[in-house]
């Protein structure tokens, strides 16, 4: 199908899906999950073709991301069932009041409409995104990466078959056949068809959406996350948090990229840091962290001299940019200049400095004495996650089901007119 046909089909399916009740939507989700498990052999066959084509042209990490097996398909199906088990985000009464004119005014949550998701190579995003959209009453248009073309289409076909068998319309899930830039560009410009565009991927994709989209778009993901170790830090806590934030999973957006250390404790703290992130890891046979140090830190411990660019880089790797600052105020200023407003942390036992940091640091998630790695829909208790918004409008931080809804006002009167 052409992208234009897909857009029209999606728009057509909107009011059908928006008026399905919670019980019906959950039945639809379970049918999709069952179908993934029933049709796993055809999904694996298509996935094998994707893997064959990708082998030799992409890294092993990428190949692993692309690879499906029966256990991974089972996990995808279980993921859909978990979404089904969450509370319905549609139809919540957000506020209710009787106005001065005697009107009963209700603010009720409703689906956004058609959500387009542009993502990269992981096939599980396909089922994940579709489940979150359907649960929140939104028709989805998926546009996956070209490496996963056959896998994503097989997953969507299975889910559509499940829907049809259970008596639901299958057009509530759409997938773009066009995986070129043209397909993505058409989605970005589909005013009147796409109510929300969510790009999930690297900085280039997100920038392209922000610059080119005429449809509403939510920026997700890019995280230059900072940990500031205050002079009043419990240094053992600080080391534990930094090790976790930097090394537990360096490739994700909530991993730490920058460390700021108070000058008052730098001479004492930086050697401990080097021990934890470099020496101990080498001794344990684990990958050490490359420390990119400002001049002042470099006078205390050995490492790579940092360039200014290092403080504006999302490494997504075992690399940490380190800078000595005078105080919490300078830390907040550095963050205002360099961070992507995703997640930042202060490590301190001093309430005043903690309060200053949480008031002045303007990021989606601001931590006191905890790892930035907690910025996650599951960890925040949202039950699931469509992505992490780094913008300020509509949704900020992890986006769960409620963040995939809008609202409308329903006003009931008995003939009132405005005077």
Cβ nearer to its own copies, comparing 304 with 374: 374
* 290 burial via Cβ count (<10 Å: 0-12, 13-18, 19+): middle
Applying CB under 8 A, the span of 71-79, 107-115, 280-288, 319-327 interacting with its own copies comes to 107-115
- C-alpha span between 277 and 320 (Å, rounded): 10
Q: Which two tokens stand for residue 170?
A: 């299958």
Q: Which residues contact 280 (CB under 8 A, 6 or more apart)?
A: none
Q: Please, what is the minimum distance in Å from the beta carbon of residue 352 to its own copies?
A: 14
136 near its own copies, rule: CB under 8 A: no
Cβ nearer to its own copies, comparing 68 with 218: 218
Applying CB under 8 A, the span of 75-83, 127-135, 145-153, 189-197 interacting with its own copies comes to 189-197
Q: Which residues contact 373 (CB under 8 A, 6 or more apart)?
A: 244, 245, 248, 249, 252, 254, 255
Terminal-to-terminal C-alpha distance of the chain: 53
Which H/E stretch holds residue 33? Answer: helix 22-38
| x/- track of binding to its own copies for residues 248-287 (CB under 8 A) | x---------------------------------------
87 near its own copies, rule: CB under 8 A: no
Task: Work out which of 396, 399, 400, 401 binds its own copies, going by CB under 8 A.
Answer: 396
191 near its own copies, rule: CB under 8 A: yes
381 near its own copies, rule: CB under 8 A: yes
**Interactions with its own copies, residue window 197-236 (CB under 8 A):** 210-211, 214, 216, 218, 234, 236
Which H/E stretch holds residue 75? Answer: helix 70-85
CB atoms inside a 10 Å sphere around CB 392: 11
Applying CB under 8 A, the span of 149-157, 239-247, 281-289, 300-308 interacting with its own copies comes to 239-247
Do 276 and 242 meet the contact criterion of CB atoms below 8 Å apart? yes
Applying CB under 8 A, the span of 13-21, 26-34, 72-80, 148-156 interacting with its own copies comes to 13-21
Please work out the total of residues on this chain that contact its own copies, with binding judged by CB under 8 A.
Answer: 69
């Amino acid at each position: 199908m052409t992208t234009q046909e897909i857009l029209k089909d999606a728009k057509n399916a909107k009011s059908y899906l928006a008026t399905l009740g919670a019980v019906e939507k959950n039945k639809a989700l379970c049918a999709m999950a069952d179908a993934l498990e029933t049709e796993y052999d055809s999904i694996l066959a298509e996935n094998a073709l994707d893997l064959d084509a990708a082998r030799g042209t992409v890294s092993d990490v990428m190949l692993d991301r692309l690879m499906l097996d029966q256990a991974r398909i089972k996990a995808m199906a279980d993921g859909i069932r978990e979404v089904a088990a969450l509370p319905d985000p549609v139809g919540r009464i957000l506020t209710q009041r009787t106005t001065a004119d005697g009107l009963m005014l209700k603010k009720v949550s409703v689906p956004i409409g058609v959500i387009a998701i542009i993502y990269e190579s992981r096939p599980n995003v396909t089922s994940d995104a579709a489940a979150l959209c359907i649960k929140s009453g939104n028709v989805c248009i998926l546009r996956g990466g070209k490496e996963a073309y056959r896998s994503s289409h097989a997953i969507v076909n299975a889910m559509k078959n499940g829907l049809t068998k259970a008596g639901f319309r299958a057009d509530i899930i759409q997938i773009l056949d066009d995986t070129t830039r043209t397909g993505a560009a058409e989605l970005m410009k589909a005013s009147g068809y796409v109510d929300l565009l969510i790009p999930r991927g690297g900085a280039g994709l997100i920038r392209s959406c922000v610059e080119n989209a005429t449809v509403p778009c939510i920026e997700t993901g890019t995280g230059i996350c900072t940990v500031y170790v205050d002079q009043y830090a419990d240094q053992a806590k600080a080391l534990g948090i930094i090790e976790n934030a930097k090394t537990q999973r360096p490739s994700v957006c909530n991993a730490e990229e920058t460390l700021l250390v108070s000058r008052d404790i730098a001479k004492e703290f930086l050697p401990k840091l080097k021990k934890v992130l470099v020496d101990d890891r080498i001794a344990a046979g684990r990958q050490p962290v490359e420390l990119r140090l400002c001049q002042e830190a470099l006078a205390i411990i050995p490492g790579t001299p940092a360039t200014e660019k290092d403080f504006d880089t999302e490494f997504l790797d075992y690399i940490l940019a380190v800078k000595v600052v005078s105080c919490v105020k300078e830390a907040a200023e550095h963050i205002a200049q360099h961070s992507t407003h995703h997640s930042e942390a202060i490590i301190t036992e001093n309430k005043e400095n903690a309060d200053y940091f949480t008031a002045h640091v303007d990021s989606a998630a601001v931590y006191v004495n905890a790892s930035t790695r907690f910025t996650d829909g599951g960890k925040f208790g949202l039950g699931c996650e469509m992505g992490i918004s780094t913008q300020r409008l509509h949704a900020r931080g992890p986006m769960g089901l409620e963040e995939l809804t809008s609202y409308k006002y329903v006003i009931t009167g008995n003939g009132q007119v405005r005077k």
